Chains A and B, each alone.
Chain A
Amino acid sequence: MLGTYLPILLVVLIAIIFGLVALTFSSLIGPKKKTALKLSPYESGCAPVGTARERFSIKFYLIAMLFILFDIEAVFLYPWAILYKKLGVFGLVEMGVFVVILFVGYIYVWKKGALEWE
């Protein structure tokens, strides 16, 4: 049973080895001249102001929340896509109702300007 997943296991192993090798060699070969400026946290080239552990704007949260909800909608499409031919028109109507209800939500989000960055 696990034999069919061997390629995935190999990919995971290669990814781990690649990451470890890259980190190890860059720390072994790379020059280490520690100055205060080099050791300061990188903030897009600006001088760091305060700690990174600040409270974030709720705008990010809203986008994340909407992403998750439509992500879950997309999850339901996978088994439907596999059974598409078997279910026929019935399945099409069924999924149509599902998607239309969520499309109402999408229009609501759009009209309320929740996708705008203000």
Chain B
Amino acid sequence: METLFFAIITLVAIVSAILVISCKNPINSALALVMTFFCLATYYVMLDAPFMAAIQVMVYAGAIMVLIVFTIMLLNIRVDATKKHSHKILLGSIIGFFTLINTVYILMKSHAAAPTGPFTGDMIKQIGHTELIGQEMFTKFLLPFEITSILLLVAIVGAVILAKKKL
């Protein structure tokens, strides 16, 4: 059941990811990218990380998407401004295909498993995914967390300076 669900979601993710790069209209590409983000959010749910899934939808499918759409609007890309480069497509496909074969070969050959960390699946289920993230973030990674606020502050100031006509 779960494997089937995973297969369906993966299929949707791959098809929408192909649509992102093959759509003529950049707005359609952006919408396809939203679909891909939703599929990734579903993966997070399947990995027992519902908080990450919610963030993925809120920040990526919502906020980052707004930015991408606005960039498209600011750049004023015409629909038929694209040119076809068939030889580049062929070359890219060949490289991609061989990379895929190489990756699959290495994955099939190696049996090495990473050592188990302190956060096992059962522990995450028992304590709660969001709580564990918070615990680490507010104790062990206290400084990076506070620095994030400085980063956001810089971004706020930068956005105002770049986009405001009269300062």
Residues of A within 8 A of B (CB): 1-2, 5, 53-56, 58-62, 64-69, 71-73, 75-76, 78-80, 82-83, 86-87, 91, 94, 97-99, 101-102, 104-106, 108-109, 112-114
Contacts and interface: CB of A to CB of B under 8 A. Distances in A.
B1 A82 contact: no
A73 B152 contact: yes
A56 B70 contact: yes
A1 B59 contact: no
A65 B159 contact: yes
B123 interface: no
Interface in B56-106: 58-59, 62-64, 66-67, 70, 73-76, 78-79
Given A87-B138, A105-B157, A64 B2 contact: no
Interface of B: 1-2, 5, 45-46, 48, 51, 55, 58-59, 62-64, 66-67, 70, 73-76, 78-79, 128, 130-131, 133-135, 137-138, 142, 145-146, 148-150, 152-153, 155-157, 159-160, 163-164, 166-167
A114 B157 CA distance: 10
Central interface residue in B45, B146, B152, B166, by most chain A CB within 10 Å: B152
A99 B73 CA distance: 32
B137 A60 contact: no
Given A2-B2, A76-B145, 17 more contacts: A55-B75, A59-B163, A61-B70, A68-B64, A69-B159, A71-B59, A78-B51, A79-B51, A91-B138, A94-B146, A98-B145, A101-B153, A102-B153, A105-B156, A108-B160, A112-B167, A114-B163
